[in-house]
Each structure stands twice: as structure tokens, then as C-alpha cells.
């Protein structure tokens, strides 16, 4: 029983997250939630506007007390009225407003997808940067282990007088330098984990290696979600301008009001048959703004310039995305070549190190050549591991720039 007690001092559940799990968690954060709320606001604005164009019914009631009673005005009057109003024509404003709001709703939906995909790309980069840092850490630890073994061997020879003090000191200083590098790598690993915590709002202490992405040789190209948002917002601005322009056209609306009244005369002799208790008045009204010193025209032109500005920004961004896509594809191909080259370099450096290590331990060469060969071997190992992780990042960037949802390509 006593043997089990120390186990309780350690966490029983240290969960490692893979890439898919990290992305899933990160896409439930406050940034995505904000985009969802913005979408709901656009949907409610559309529904509210639709409702505002339906027939409206208003009910009113009043009590009147008249100081000087006349046949047309009783001392006390109780009145209730119900009116129905409906806009028959508003110069096309209704249709333009509906279209504008629908484009805003579609833009809101696409914005949620754009935010999620951008987060997926950021988390993917962090995930593979973490794996590169861990590989760097592993290579550095191996290098330190080799140096420490060599340091112990030289210290024994130094005690017997077979080697000089400076040879021991060179290896010792190299051990200390690599330990400093190891501390810097550990700091970088912690920075990545803390950054992932920003995205996931969850404390990340361990990451599971093994995740990757697949990508087709001939990847189809679609419009990126964030660019689609800009396109939809541009269309919304065009219809926004139309809503302003429609104010120069006539508005036709129907009004029907039913009124019921009770009249209480203090002087019964003043009661008049001209006053009726029930009355219904229907009217067809037209309103037309014929002159406003150019206010509506200027407002329309202002909206047009907003539309043209957004349109120019959209065209610029579309061109930039095309360039980014072609560049990311080129980088992907170059990274594949780099992996082959760094693998060959690693194999050569490893074989050379084993040979130089043997010669050094036999006293055929000095420690300068040994240290250089050791650095080349583990340096090549770091570069090779980083190149493999960079390949996965480049895949994600190609998928992102070609308008695909990154998380659908995890494996």
C-alpha cells in the first residue's frame, strides 16, 4: 500500500493532443464565438427588415376633456382607433435592402469559415514548429550526451597525463554552450505551448507527434473564404447605394383607420348628429422628394465611392492570393527537394562523424576536427527534421491559399 502512495503525487492523466484535436478545440474559442454572434446579428437584421415591410397595425386610445363645450366637441370624449398601414411601392428600396442584407448574412457565414480556417493554419504551423523544436531538442541532448561521454574519457586521460588541460577545457566549454542552446530550445517550446493555449483556451502540456496532411498532386483552386467575404461585402455595398438612390423615387402607401368614440355632453342641447361613434377612413398616399438641394444624390455618390473602394481592395487581394498560391506551391516543391538533400547530407555527416570519432579517440586527429564533425552531424539532423515538418506546413499553406478547409486534410 505504501508503494502506491507516491504515485498519487503525480498527475494520473497527462493527455497529449494531436493536430486534429488542437484545431477542434481552437475553433471553439472566443474569436469564433464573436464571428458567430456577428452572423446572428446579420440574420436578425434581415428578419427585422422583412417584418418592417409587412402591414403594420397600431391601436390608440385617448380621453379628451373640453373646457368650452360645443356641438363639435363634447365636454368628455373617449376615443379608440385602429389603423393599418402598408407600403405598396418605395422606389425599389425594399428589394435593394433585402439583397444588401442577404449578402451581409452570406458574408457573415463565410466569415465564420474564414476565421476557423485561419485558426487551423496558425495552429498547424505551431504544431509542426513544436515538433521541429522537439527534434532540435532531441538532437542537442544527443550531442550533449556524446560530449559528456567524451569529457569523462578525456578527464581520465588527463589524470594519467595523456592529454593536456586545454583539450579537456575545449570539450567542457562545448558541453556548457550546448546546454545553453538546450535552455533556449526549451524556452521556444514553452512559447509555442503558451501560444497554443491562447488559441485553445486550454493548458497544453504535451503534444502527440504523428499527425500529417495529405494533398493531391493536382489540387483544385477555389476562392479563399476571407476573399469570398470581401466579395460578398462588396456586393452588399452596391445594393446599399441603390437603397439611397431609391429615396429620389415616389413612395406609395395605403392607410386604413377605424375609429370608435363615445361623447358625453354636459349640455344635452348641444348634442349633434354630425358626430358619429364609428368611422372608417381609407387613404392611398404618395410621397415624392422632388428637391432636396442634391442631398440624396451626394449620399448616393458617397456610397458609390465606398463600393468602388471596396471593389479595388477586393481586386488587389484576389491578385495577392493568386501570387500567394503560386508561391506556396513552389515552396512546397522546393521543400520536397530539400528533404532529399538534407537526408543525403545527414547520412554523409553521420558516416563521416563515426570515422572522425574513431580517428580522434585513437589520437590520429585533434579535437577541433572532432567537434566540427560532431556539429555537422547533429546540425544536419536538425535541418532534416525541420524540413520534414516544414513540408507539412507548406501543404497547409497550399490548401489555405487554394480555398480548401485545412482540417479536412488531416490524417
292-337 confidence digits (pLDDT tens): 788 888 888 998 999 999 999 999 999 999 999 999 999 999 999 9
Average pLDDT of the residues of the chain: 88
Partners of 89 in the β-ladder: 252
pLDDT at position 8 over 50: no
More confident residue, 295 or 256: 256
Same domain for 173 and 66 = no
- Residue 147 in domain: yes
Q: How confident is the model at residue 130 (pLDDT cuts 50, 70, 90)?
A: very high
State the residue for C-alpha cell 502527440: 208
Q: For residues 265 and 271, what is the distance between their CA atoms, to the nearest angstrom?
A: 7
Percent of the chain having pLDDT more than 70? Answer: 97
pLDDT at position 162 over 90: no
Following CA atoms 107, 110, 116, 122 in sequence, which dihedral angle do they give, to the nearest 10 degrees? -80
* Contacts with 87 (C-beta within 8 Å, 6 or more apart), sequence order: 53, 94, 251, 252, 253
Same domain for 399 and 302 = yes
Q: How confident is the model at residue 14 (pLDDT cuts 50, 70, 90)?
A: low
pLDDT at position 271 over 70: yes
Q: For residues 200 and 193, what is the distance between their CA atoms, to the nearest angstrom?
A: 10
| DSSP secondary structure letters along 49-71 | HHHHTS-EEEEEEEEEE-SS-BT
State pTM to two decimals.
0.83
- Residue 6 in domain: no
Range of the domain at 307: 14-54+90-250+294-409
- Residue 153 in domain: yes
- Residue 218 in domain: yes
Same domain for 69 and 217 = no
pLDDT at position 140 over 70: yes
Q: If residue 349 lies in a helix (H) or strand (E), which one and from where to where?
A: helix 295-361
Same domain for 77 and 18 = no
Q: How many domains does the chain have?
A: 2
Other C-beta atoms closer than 10 Å to the C-beta of 156 total 11
| pLDDT-wise least confident of 14-18, 68-72, 317-321, 388-392 | 14-18
* Mean pLDDT value of segment 113-142: 94
* Mean pLDDT value of segment 51-55: 88
Same domain for 364 and 236 = yes
pLDDT at position 69 over 90: no
* Contacts with 267 (C-beta within 8 Å, 6 or more apart), sequence order: 69, 75
pLDDT at position 12 over 50: no
Amino acid at each position: 500500500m505504501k508503494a502506491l502512495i507516491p504515485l498519487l503525487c503525480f498527475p494520473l492523466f497527462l493527455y497529449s493532443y494531436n493536430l486534429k484535436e488542437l484545431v477542434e478545440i481552437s475553433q471553439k474559442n472566443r474569436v469564433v464565438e464573436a464571428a458567430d454572434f456577428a452572423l446572428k446579428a446579420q440574420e436578425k437584421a434581415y428578419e427585422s427588415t422583412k417584418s418592417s415591410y409587412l402591414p403594420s397595425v397600431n391601436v390608440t386610445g385617448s380621453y379628451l376633456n373640453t373646457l368650452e363645450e360645443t356641438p363639435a366637441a363634447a365636454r368628455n370624449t373617449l376615443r379608440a382607433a385602429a389603423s393599418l398601414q402598408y407600403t405598396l411601392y418605395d422606389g425599389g428600396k425594399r428589394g435593394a435592402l433585402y439583397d444588401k442584407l442577404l449578402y451581409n448574412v452570406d458574408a457573415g457565414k463565410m466569415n465564420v469559415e474564414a476565421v476557423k480556417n485561419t485558426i487551423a493554419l496558425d495552429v498547424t504551423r505551431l504544431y509542426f514548429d513544436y515538433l521541429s523544436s522537439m527534434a532540435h531538442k532531441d538532437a542537442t541532448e544527443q550531442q550533449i550526451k556524446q560530449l559528456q561521454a567524451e569529457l569523462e574519457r578525456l578527464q581520465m586521460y588527463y589524470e594519467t597525463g595523456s592529454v593536456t588541460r586545454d583539450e579537456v577545457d575545449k570539450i567542457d566549454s562545448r558541453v556548457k554552450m550546448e546546454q545553453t542552446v538546450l535552455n533556449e530550445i526549451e524556452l521556444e517550446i514553452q512559447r509555442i505551448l503558451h501560444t497554443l493555449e491562447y488559441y485553445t483556451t486550454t493548458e497544453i502540456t504535451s503534444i502527440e507527434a504523428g499527425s500529417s496532411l495529405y494533398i493531391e498532386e493536382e489540387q483544385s483552386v477555389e476562392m479563399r473564404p476571407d476573399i469570398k467575404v470581401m466579395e460578398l461585402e462588396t456586393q452588399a455595398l452596391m445594393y446599399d447605394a441603390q437603397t439611397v438612390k431609391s429615396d429620389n423615387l415616389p413612395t406609395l402607401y395605403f392607410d386604413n383607420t377605424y375609429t370608435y368614440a363615445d361623447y358625453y355632453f354636459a349640455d344635452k342641447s348641444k348634442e349633434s348628429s354630425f358626430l358619429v361613434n364609428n368611422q372608417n377612413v381609407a387613404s392611398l398616399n404618395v410621397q415624392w422628394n422632388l428637391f432636396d438641394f442634391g442631398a440624396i444624390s451626394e449620399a448616393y455618390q458617397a456610397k458609390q465611392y465606398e463600393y468602388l473602394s471596396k471593389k479595388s481592395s477586393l481586386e488587389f487581394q484576389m491578385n495577392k492570393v493568386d501570387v500567394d498560391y503560386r508561391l506556396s506551391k513552389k515552396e512546397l516543391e522546393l521543400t520536397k527537394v530539400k528533404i532529399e538533400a538534407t537526408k543525403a547530407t545527414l547520412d554523409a555527416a553521420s558516416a563521416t562523424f563515426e570515422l572522425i570519432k574513431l580517428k580522434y579517440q585513437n589520437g590520429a586527429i585533434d579535437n577541433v576536427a572532432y567537434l566540427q564533425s560532431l556539429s555537422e552531424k547533429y546540425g544536419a539532423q536538425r535541418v532534416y527534421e525541420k524540413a520534414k515538418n516544414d513540408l507539412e506546413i507548406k501543404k497547409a499553406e497550399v490548401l489555405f491559399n487554394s480555398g480548401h478547409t485545412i482540417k479536412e486534410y488531416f490524417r
